[in-house]
A and B are shown apart, each in its own frame.
Chain A
Amino acid sequence: EAQVTQNPRYLITVTGKKLTVTCSQNMNHEYMSWYRQDPGLGLRQIYYSMNVEVTDKGDVPEGYKVSRKEKRNFPLILESPSPNQTSLYFCASSPRDRVSGANVLTFGAGSRLTVL
């Protein structure tokens, strides 16, 4: 089944304890992206990757790192989590439409992170 898989789905951690949220897709998509969703603010892009070894900042990259060593994986790293990073996180991937260039996103099921 074509899908985007995120882990963990739920995590409660403490301030400063490094954590990684994994994201994997099996659709051979070039484009991958991370979002956080907060009440009243909608989905905000953290980082994205147009292809392997290419990553770019989104709108809210502070406090996060990513890597894209392989096409299928795009982990999100919080080196020193803080309470303001408590949020619902979504990973998404998309093929690159060669005609329009548009990205139609397939999302993972989400990871709910609480930082105490």
Chain B
Amino acid sequence: RKEVEQDPGPFNVPEGATVAFNCTYSNSASQSFFWYRQDCRKEPKLLMSVYSSGNEDGRFTAQLNRASQYISLLIRDSKLSDSATYLCVVNMLSSSASKIIFGSGTRLSIRP
């Protein structure tokens, strides 16, 4: 079983729709969680961190459920420019090491 699992998609939704992605992680020692966005043939870029209480950044909402070991990303009023691959990232930390694990990504395509 992969340490971080995502539905690969692709999700193909019309402009203006609301879309949600989930990501599950297997290691309960995971401590920090992020969503990154990657455009085709480009480097990943941080979209948002995910906090235990849930957090919102404009049209984007991230949630963390530690008991069930999943994180989610909700995109409201989707735009054509939201088309990208969304990567779930989990960070496990100790005083001497940092393990950062990426999910394989969920492809999102927004159609006019």
Contacts and interface: CB of A to CB of B under 8 A. Distances in A.
Q: Do A and B interact with each other, yes or no?
A: yes
B45 A107 contact: yes
Contact of B91 (A42, A43, A90, A102): A102
Interface residues of B, number: 25
Interface string A37-57: 000111111001010000010
Interface stretch (B9-17, B53-61, B75-83, B94-102): B94-102
A102 B43 contact: no
Contact of B104 (A31, A33, A40): A40
A105 B97 contact: no
B100 to A, nearest CB: 6
- B interface, over-half SS: strand
A75 interface: no
Contact of A43 (B44, B45, B49, B98): B44
A103 B97 contact: no
Given A102-B49, A109-B43, A42 B104 contact: yes
Interface of A: 31, 33, 35, 40-45, 48, 50, 56, 90, 100-105, 107-110
